[in-house]
Structure 1
């Protein structure tokens, strides 16, 4: 056998690899695949972290053709704007536990139809006045079964509440309907000039006093760039926490831009250097100006018809009806509106409860604890629940009416 020495081995010809070099397009595909995998991993990790922290969960409304907008069904929410709350909208888009359309035998149902005060996003769900009311009713009357259903939707005006009642809430066979109102309820019946709250139907009164429905502004907004953006980003708003954080930051920037524009306008008009006392007098005179009072008086006629129609459709379905007026922090100077609502309710035989005086009866320091910003705190919701309970029991509104608690008609 021949043995190769070192010199022979060194001088052997170089054998080139037979493996072909990867082409440039394969390198590109490999890099692209690695990039996509890494990007997906980053998105998944970031989405998981944001979900755990409850960030990006305030995009909860979807556009809806009948009432303008409704909560997303089955959507989880975390609110931090005023107070703090975390929970789920149920499968029907209600800020409530799962509720069946068909009422179980022996149940007395109360339907709360309102806005963000009823929805109660400033507190955890167990501390909303509706939840507290349900708990107290069942503990006070152990032989009966009460359910208090929450149909609150943020930024709803009285006309939208009427639509929500007629097309949705009454399908749950309530025995009692409570329609909640809040300060400037009448003025909110006017058309919006900009923003997503323009996507609502507007109502007016005809010469015969009948309700006239106008969806021109709603259609215009839905066809606008903002309306198309709301529709096109629906999946992201529903499913992406990253998008939710981004949208929240954009909303904050937009709010600061509006404040800056108002500041510059006041600066140009010389209002920035006006004495505070003069500014306060001007604000008070605007609140009680003839134009303001005329607007309230004019829209209160529409408000009256909407409330009467709400009572009518409720009674047609075998439910009693009541109107509930809530105060709000820093916005209780609506004596004319409250007086007109009470007068209209008295004239039309509608049960009416105004909690403004009950809240203002507390010392100022205690009053501050009843609110989280504009809305109620845990303590404020408790006061509201107690006052509503006292009113319902004193007026006999918890007794079975045309439809008994077994659901027979």
Structure 2
């Protein structure tokens, strides 16, 4: 009996050593080859934002055929290192948004923020653009970014980049696929409250517990990513109901219903909340002595055949709805506005280049950078005139 137990323990130990060696070898392969897009984690849970990029961490990404790698700066944003104080005569612009601004599909120097900055400085202007982009950020989270961090850098202009797809959906806990985030509410008197009760959930606790392992292991990070993707896929399937296509889901039950004559009430409410939060951002920015601009991103309707897919679901669909509606809102509220839908479509038709495969590719970033540079220059010139 004693002999059998000893043999058993030896076998268990040998097996444990074998598994350990295998896992170490697998970890080495994943780190060096990035097989299956594996990489160590470079984000961390945040008790106010839900999560944030981890300051000083190396990042590596291959998304939508593009590649990016570098180091998150010491303030926790995907940009070069910053100085709190502006240089003499520098016009500082903070660009705040989601994954389109974070732009992990391209190298940092190819992002539209860097493109716009380069164009302006090539003209002899002293302009600094700062990238406050974080994947999946909503207008609520962007308000918090600006309140907690952006205004500390004393920007002259704050640009909020709006993407209707997830900016509208993720404002509402009943519509979003990810509830580990803050939600904005307003009471009967119009007072803003930020609900951060996600910090009390089991999901947030689990995320916080696993995160150090994700940062230490490409294997653990890969497993967590695969799990989240599966979870998201099941969530989307559950919310899709009886629709037969992605186009039907977006137009009949999703945010694109707003661009038709039959808007879904839940999305109308979430969109109205976005506008209310944009006004809160405007007040916050102007209180800090800066100008505010709203930039609306194009959706994937550049090609006529894609637009026709949506029109087949509902012939009242208007691809320019958000540019027009947000443009009207901005005009009424005294907000500078940069629409991109028509400019991107005109470019695509003239050049027949794929610039929006999902997020911007390098050509898309070049175009967005050019348009943003022109808009910044206009605001800067007007501000100079007003100051005289």
TM range (shorter): 0.7 to 0.9
Q: Secondary structure at the match of 1:105?
A: coil
2:36 is the alignment partner of 1:53: no
Residue 354 (structure 2) aligned to one of 356, 365, 369: 369
Rg larger in structure? 1
Match of 2:214 in 1: 237
2:225 is the alignment partner of 1:248: yes
CA apart distance, 1:342: 1.5
Is 1:111–1:178's contact at 8 Å kept on the other side of the alignment? yes
2:60 is the alignment partner of 1:78: yes
Per-residue deviation, residues 281-307 of structure 1 (Å, max 9, x unmatched) = 797555256662544543444333322
CA apart distance, 1:105: 2.9
CA apart distance, 1:398: 8.0
Q: Secondary structure at the match of 1:369?
A: coil
- More helix, by proportion: 2
2:213 is the alignment partner of 1:213: no
Distance in 2, matches of 1:403 and 1:76, equals 42
2:148 is the alignment partner of 1:177: no
Q: Secondary structure at the match of 1:151?
A: strand
Match of 2:363 in 1: 379
What are the residue-to-residue correspondences of 1:6-405 with 2, within 5 Å?
45-54=25-34, 55-57=37-39, 59-87=41-69, 88-141=71-124, 144-184=125-165, 185-192=167-174, 195=177, 197-216=178-197, 218-219=198-199, 222-224=200-202, 226-254=203-231, 284=251, 287=257, 292=263, 294-330=265-301, 335-364=320-349, 366=351, 369-372=354-357, 374-396=358-380
Unaligned runs of 5+ in 2: 308-317
Per-residue deviation, residues 204-253 of structure 1 (Å, max 9, x unmatched) = 3332333233334x24xx422x3222111111111211212222333454
Per-residue deviation, residues 45-74 of structure 1 (Å, max 9, x unmatched) = 543442232442274332211122211222
CA apart distance, 1:30: 9.8
Distance in 1, matches of 2:168 and 2:363, equals 27
Is 1:314–1:320's contact at 8 Å kept on the other side of the alignment? yes
CA apart distance, 1:317: 2.0
Q: Secondary structure at the match of 1:352?
A: strand
Distance in 1, matches of 2:352 and 2:47, equals 39
CA apart distance, 1:131: 1.0
CA apart distance, 1:203: 1.4
Q: In terms of mean alpha carbon deviation, does 24-33 or 320-329 score higher?
A: 24-33
Question: How many aligned positions are there?
Answer: 364
